[in-house]
Amino acid sequence: MEQIITLEKVDSTNKYASTNFDSLPDKALIISKIQTAGRGRRQTPWVSPDHVNLYASYVLKTVNFNVSMSSWVGGLATLYALRELAPQKEFWIKWPNDTFCGNKKISGVLCETVSDVNNKIKGIVIGIGININMTSEELKKIEKPATSLIVETGKEVSVIETAKILFKHLDTFTVETIKNYESLYNLWKKENKIVGKKVTIEVIGKEILTGKVVDIKPSGELYVVDEAGAFHTIYSGDVTIKSFIY
């Protein structure tokens, strides 16, 4: 049975899911028509115009895999949902948690753990934002190049139908992660099109690194070799990819 819970208005679906975690069903997808304080990685604001995009959080209480794998579930489910909605377009994952259409961002994933009073992890909330019916004018408010389904296809897309399709893929990839994490990891890495590409990376508080991505490890680290031939390990919490050759 589908467990999609639709709210009229929240500050953040991730915050709502975390605050109400104990009372929510396992594998529930929380969506909101209006999100007033959406956020991305490192607390950056997520531009959330009312009623036009999907603002969602997936509740996982039974986690039979490493919590770091939740980003695979969220990223792949989003990727496959977008491909189902617009099969004529080229979607791909940009490490660590964004989905792109061509060279523009269309979606982001934010995974957060929920712990009890003893700091024991109770579960995971997978937050997903997808630009659906956001106009070109509204997209200009986003700092980095971004797009939406309506801009890419020229057709308005139902937010509710998008949520149903996303929910289906979230359930599928949650099950697949438990069954065969190695196969899912290989798929997730394959869909990260930056592997083998030249990238420019800004390491927060340190320096700008230019090099070639040679691998993504199962634990999530990006391996980059710079122009001098030195290898660098990049962690998702410490890096912003500024530009790359697509």
Given this model, what pLDDT does residue 2 score?
61
198-244 folds as: SH3 type barrels. (2.30.30)
Q: 198-244: same fold as 4-191?
A: no
Given this model, what pLDDT does residue 238 score?
67
Given this model, what pLDDT does residue 97 score?
84
Given this model, what pLDDT does residue 47 score?
62
Given this model, what pLDDT does residue 1 score?
46
Homologous superfamily of the 4-191 domain (CATH): Bira Bifunctional Protein; Domain 2 (3.30.930.10)
Q: How far is CA 155 from CA 85, 104, 105, 134, 140, in A?
A: 11, 18, 18, 11, 19
The string of pLDDT tens digits covering residues 178-204 is: 788 889 999 999 999 888 888 888 876
Q: How far is CA 145 from CA 136, 138, 156, 192, in A?
A: 11, 12, 20, 18
Return the amino acid letter for 138. E
Q: Where are the beta strands (DSSP E) in 18-115?
A: 29-35, 54-60, 91-94, 98-101, 104-115
Given this model, what pLDDT does residue 142 score?
83
Which residues in the chain come in under a pLDDT of 70?
1-2, 37-48, 204-207, 237-238, 246
Given this model, what pLDDT does residue 37 score?
66
Give domain limits for the chain.
4-191, 198-244
